[in-house]
């Protein structure tokens, strides 16, 4: 069905910092729209990581179906491209059934990958190559990047070892600079984006502290 308050949107996103009320708003809105929630959280995708990730409770899942949670083994790596592919597939499936899915979470890169249609090189992490590059200094790696992909080097800070390594990895695996493989291809359906913030910093700090204490009470280790 198409609820009256869908407003013609094909997707609704809810994002914001920790403890700003994303989950509560999503639950209320999903029930009102009779739809589902897709998680956009880079930790909730992993099975067994239940306490410190603030996964929805069993009661929450009974109220509203949740997806893109517990989809990966902790010993595996779920890349951004993997997440994007699964999210796009789920969105298309629910839209075809007449639902306006809610994409909800605090991992902004996950949400941007969907709403901006980010073009992501599908190159899996290369353990051997990364090991070889890690033996070099960041200055050396960045110098290599400036030679093989000056476009990427202009966007990546000279001290950003993670993005430098990834850019080199993509180049040496595909032979094509990552700067030439990136870009955006936004979906053709309208998107309503809702961003939450807490104007009272002290109140937000208190809510985060309360959540942390709840997690510790459930068995989260301080180590």
Task: State the Cα–Cα distance between residues 6 and 71, nearest whole angstrom.
Answer: 28
Q: Are strands 191-196 and 37-39 parallel, antiparallel or unpaired?
A: unpaired
Sign, CA dihedral 14-17-21-27, equals positive
Domain count, the chain: 2
Separation between Cα atoms, residue 206 and residue 202, nearest integer Å: 6
Query: For position 200, what pLDDT does the model report?
Result: 64
Residues 176 and 188 both lie in one domain:
no
4-40 confidence digits (pLDDT tens)? 445 578 999 999 888 788 999 999 999 999 999 999 9
Task: Report pLDDT for 77.
Answer: 85
Query: Are 82 and 154 in the same domain?
Result: no
Specify whether 27 is located in the same domain as 71.
Answer: yes
113 and 208, same domain (yes or no): yes
Paired residues of 67 in beta bridges: 38
Residue 36, in any domain of the structure: yes
pLDDT digits over 199-212, tens only? 666 665 666 556 55
pLDDT score, position 216:
45
Residues 101 and 29 in one domain: yes
Do both 97 and 174 map to the same domain?
Answer: no
Domain span at residue 152 reads: 127-181
Residue 181: closest CA among 149, 136, 219, 218: 149
**139: part of which helix (H) or strand (E)?**
helix 138-148
Q: Does 223 map to a domain?
A: no
> If the chain, 223 residues long, is cut into consecutive pieces of 10 residues, what is the mean pLDDT of each piece?
57 90 94 96 89 83 96 91 96 95 95 96 92 96 97 97 96 96 95 86 60 51 50
CATH of the domain at 47: 3.40.50.300
């Amino acid at each position: 069905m198409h609820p009256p308050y869908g407003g013609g949107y094909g997707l609704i996103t809810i994002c914001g910092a920790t403890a700003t009320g994303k989950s509560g708003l999503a639950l209320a809105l999903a029930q009102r729209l009779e739809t589902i929630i897709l998680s956009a959280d880079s930790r909730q995708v992993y099975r067994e990581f239940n306490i410190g990730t603030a996964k929805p409770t069993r009661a929450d899942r009974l109220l509203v179906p949740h997806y893109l949670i517990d989809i990966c083994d902790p010993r595996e790596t779920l890349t951004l491209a993997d997440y994007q592919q699964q999210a796009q597939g789920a969105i298309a499936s629910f839209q075809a059934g007449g639902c306006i899915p809610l994409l909800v979470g605090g991992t902004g890169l996950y949400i941007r990958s969907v709403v901006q249609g980010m073009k992501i090189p599908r190159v899996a992490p290369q353990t051997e190559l990364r090991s070889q590059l890690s033996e070099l200094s960041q200055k050396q790696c960045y110098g290599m990047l400036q030679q093989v992909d000056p476009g990427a080097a202009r966007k990546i800070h000279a001290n950003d070892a993670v993005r430098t390594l990834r850019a080199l990895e993509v180049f040496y695996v595909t032979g094509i600079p990552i700067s030439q493989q990136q870009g955006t291809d936004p979906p053709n359906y309208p998107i309503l984006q809702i961003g939450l913030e807490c104007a009272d910093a002290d109140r937000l700090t208190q809510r985060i502290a309360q959540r942390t204490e709840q997690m510790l009470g459930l068995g989260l280790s301080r180590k």
